[in-house]
Chain A
Amino acid sequence: MTGAATSGEAVLSVRDLTVRFGTKRGPARVVNGISYDLAAGETLAIVGESGSGKSVSVLSLMKLIPEPPGKIDGEVIFRGRDLVAASEADLQAVRGNHMAMIFQDPMTSLNPVMTIGHQLTEPMEHHLDLSTTDARTRAVDLLELVGIPSAARRLDDYPHQFSGGMRQRVVIAMGLACDPEVLIADEATTALDVTTQAQIVELVQRLQEQLGMAVIWITHDLGVVAGIADRVLVMYAGRIVEEGLVDDLYADPRHPYTLGLLASLPKPGADRPETLFSIPGLPPDPIVLPPGCAFWDRCTYRLDAACRSDVPELRTVAPGHKVATHYDITAESP
């Protein structure tokens, strides 16, 4: 599936998306003008540390952040309409229906006092106008699809009666309820143990092939990305710093940050990670972003004077491969 998907027509176009939060100390610039296209049936991974703005950027696609204190600018073109400018009613018609979302923590993202059957059928009754009986039938099908054993009997159970991995399957089934064109998974495996993580990744891959939806997969773990994504966006301090097909990015990383992320992955085959490399320092405070490259103070290649003063633009270095640096690290790596 790799490669082919990128040439498809875009189902979602993000243009210059900017998100700010008003705080007591001033506006926090969490997402700073990002643009990308998502092709039909494609899996796009957005990778970055916590604090890179990746979650906020996808929450903003459906305007799921509180406004105020949040403020979203730019365009999100989906089904021929700009969601940033859309009314609340139009957004509700999109959310959970054409574009669905899976959240990080299955322990907290399900309502503890509502049966999972009810939580599953809720969007179907609302968006698809299904009767309760039809919705329940579909809910059982979906639970079976995501691999919940004896699904029909578990419909009237409450979330606390499921294990963490099973709950995440329920959350995924909820995302699939209305057969969305785009499914956004926000750190959907982070809260799970390694074995369950692998199962969930495999499940999403299988579902994508079966149902043909596009997937945006948010993670801080480049290791997960290798197995699932067609294309990768690397985010840092609210900007895209590198973008490329997954193989190109792994084989030929151009941004020092991407390089650092790759270096911090455990070696394949090593069953216990030795001392892992990690990039020293912390991401910059979104309230006081530096005038130049946001990665400057953690970067080992900051050789160009412009690094300090100008924000590097995203430029194409190879077909489908873009990077935002002032300095080409493959040319003369130290």
Chain B
Amino acid sequence: MSAPDRPLDLHDAGTPPVEHQSRLREVLGTLVQNRLSVLGLVILAVLIVLALFGEAIAPFELNDIDVVNRLQGPSGDHWFGTDDLGRDVFSRVIIAARVSLQVGFIAVGIALAAGVPIGLVAGFYGRGVDSVLMRLMDILFSFPAVLLAIAILAVLGPGLRNAMIAIGIVYTPIFARITRGSVLSVKQEVYVRAARSLGASDARILRRHILPNVLAPIIVQTSLSLAFAILAEAALSFLGLGVQPPEPAWGRMLADGRRFFQDAPWMAIFPGLGILFTVMAFNFVGDGLRDALDPKQKSVIESRGQTT
């Protein structure tokens, strides 16, 4: 494909070899065949409904305090029991879905917005720019995720907004690395060299020719990072550094539940299940996407049919 003496087909060179329509259908087709991915998509759909209409669905108000009925076990009235203030755990778990998804999406959005351009620039220009940017990313990458987020929160101060920024920074290096790696392999392709020989500007080449062809690994990583971002938010909220009361967050509820967990284990069990299912859903979808999008895995399966 990239033999240097191969004559360039200029007619062909204008558009990168990505057929959006049929590709999308093919990816969705493969995704739907994966049972775990379908399960993940179903869970995500339920979560999004809960995030949008949580208050309407929940049987009780978020802060309906009912001290008489405090620390009640699960029952017909209170499916997940009540907490130390007599609030309905089921309602709080449902309503907390919103903040979890919100933190996940915004934090990963930050990581994408920072990491992808860094990776594009580093991979495309190489040399000094590459080594400075990637060394910096390596340093960030060398810290355990939660610890790095805590250190950043030490500077920024605790709270929901800062937690999202901190998690965003923590996951920036992964996007930078993946983007850079893909750019390095794509930029030698014929259509990129052709576009350059036709005098396209760097910005145009990056946007029109390179970005569309490095999207697959980025999409896969986005889904997996959403899972980890939600885990990280839960950990930070558990430590009291993330979402602040009275806003409900699964991590925070778990931390509160921990103080009563001998008497009222449901206070800790159900918010934890909320985290588990959400993270699992993103992991299932991300893994399915990887199978559908990763051309390397695919070629292994396909080449088996056509070996000569």
Direct contact of A and B (CB under 8 A): yes
Binding site for B on A (CB under 8 A): 21, 23, 28, 30, 50-56, 59, 65-66, 69-70, 286-287
Complex Cα distance, B307 from A53, in Å, reads: 8
User: Taking the nearest CB of chain B, how far is it from the CB of A131, in angstroms?
Assistant: 37
Q: Is the CB of B308 within 8 A of A56?
A: yes
Chain B residues positioned under 8 Å from A28 (CB to CB): 305-306
The contact string, 1 if C-beta is below 8 Å from chain A, for chain B 278-308, is: 0000000000000000000000001011111
User: Taking the nearest CB of chain A, how far is it from the CB of B269, in angstroms?
Assistant: 42
Q: Is the CB of A50 within 8 A of B308?
A: yes
Q: Which residue of A lies closest to B30 (CB)?
A: A24
Complex Cα distance, B306 from A21, in Å, reads: 8
Complex Cα distance, B306 from A51, in Å, reads: 7
User: Taking the nearest CB of chain A, how far is it from the CB of B197, in angstroms?
Assistant: 26
The contact string, 1 if C-beta is below 8 Å from chain A, for chain B 92-110, is: 0000000000000000000
Q: Which residue of B lies closest to A68 (CB)?
A: B304
Q: Is the CB of B307 within 8 A of A69?
A: no
Q: Is the CB of A53 within 8 A of B308?
A: yes
Q: Is the CB of B308 within 8 A of A66?
A: no
The 4 closest A-B pairs by CB, nearest first: A23-B305, A21-B305, A55-B308, A50-B308
Chain B residues positioned under 8 Å from A23 (CB to CB): 302, 305
Q: Is the CB of A65 within 8 A of B305?
A: no
Chain A residues positioned under 8 Å from B308 (CB to CB): 50-56
User: Taking the nearest CB of chain B, how far is it from the CB of A167, in angstroms?
Assistant: 21
Chain B residues positioned under 8 Å from A51 (CB to CB): 306, 308
Complex Cα distance, B303 from A55, in Å, reads: 13
User: Taking the nearest CB of chain A, how far is it from the CB of B83, in angstroms?
Assistant: 51
Name B304's contact: one of A50, A53, A66, A286 (CB within 8 Å).
A66
Binding site for A on B (CB under 8 A): 302, 304-308
A–B complex contacts, Cβ < 8 Å, 28 sampled: A21-B304, A21-B305, A21-B306, A23-B302, A23-B305, A28-B305, A28-B306, A30-B305, A30-B306, A50-B308, A51-B306, A51-B308, A52-B308, A53-B308, A54-B308, A55-B307, A55-B308, A56-B307, A56-B308, A59-B307, A65-B307, A66-B304, A69-B304, A69-B305, A70-B304, A286-B305, A286-B306, A287-B305
Chain A residues positioned under 8 Å from B304 (CB to CB): 21, 66, 69-70
Chain A residues positioned under 8 Å from B302 (CB to CB): 23
Complex Cα distance, B306 from A286, in Å, reads: 8
User: Taking the nearest CB of chain B, how far is it from the CB of A209, in angstroms?
Assistant: 30
Complex Cα distance, B305 from A70, in Å, reads: 8
User: Taking the nearest CB of chain B, how far is it from the CB of A331, in angstroms?
Assistant: 33
Chain A residues positioned under 8 Å from B307 (CB to CB): 55-56, 59, 65
Chain A residues positioned under 8 Å from B306 (CB to CB): 21, 28, 30, 51, 286
Complex Cα distance, B302 from A28, in Å, reads: 11
Interface centre among B302, B307, B308 (most CB of A within 10 A): B308
Complex Cα distance, B308 from A70, in Å, reads: 13
Complex Cα distance, B308 from A31, in Å, reads: 10
Complex Cα distance, B307 from A50, in Å, reads: 9
Complex Cα distance, B304 from A107, in Å, reads: 20
Q: Which residue of A lies closest to B302 (CB)?
A: A23
User: Taking the nearest CB of chain A, how far is it from the CB of B61, in angstroms?
Assistant: 52
Besides A51-B306, A51-B308, A69-B305, 11 more A-B contacts (Cβ < 8 Å) are A21-B304, A21-B305, A30-B305, A50-B308, A53-B308, A54-B308, A55-B307, A55-B308, A56-B307, A56-B308, A65-B307
Complex Cα distance, B308 from A23, in Å, reads: 16
Chain B residues positioned under 8 Å from A70 (CB to CB): 304
Chain B residues positioned under 8 Å from A21 (CB to CB): 304-306
Q: Which residue of B lies closest to A25 (CB)?
A: B305
User: Taking the nearest CB of chain B, how far is it from the CB of A219, in angstroms?
Assistant: 12
User: Taking the nearest CB of chain A, how far is it from the CB of B65, in angstroms?
Assistant: 58
Complex Cα distance, B305 from A183, in Å, reads: 25
Chain B residues positioned under 8 Å from A286 (CB to CB): 305-306
User: Taking the nearest CB of chain B, how far is it from the CB of A237, in angstroms?
Assistant: 11
Complex Cα distance, B304 from A52, in Å, reads: 15
Complex Cα distance, B306 from A263, in Å, reads: 26
Complex Cα distance, B304 from A66, in Å, reads: 8
Q: Which residue of A lies closest to B29 (CB)?
A: A24
User: Taking the nearest CB of chain B, how far is it from the CB of A313, in angstroms?
Assistant: 24
Complex Cα distance, B307 from A59, in Å, reads: 10
Q: Which residue of B lies closest to A286 (CB)?
A: B306
User: Taking the nearest CB of chain A, how far is it from the CB of B242, in angstroms?
Assistant: 45
User: Taking the nearest CB of chain A, how far is it from the CB of B299, in angstroms?
Assistant: 13
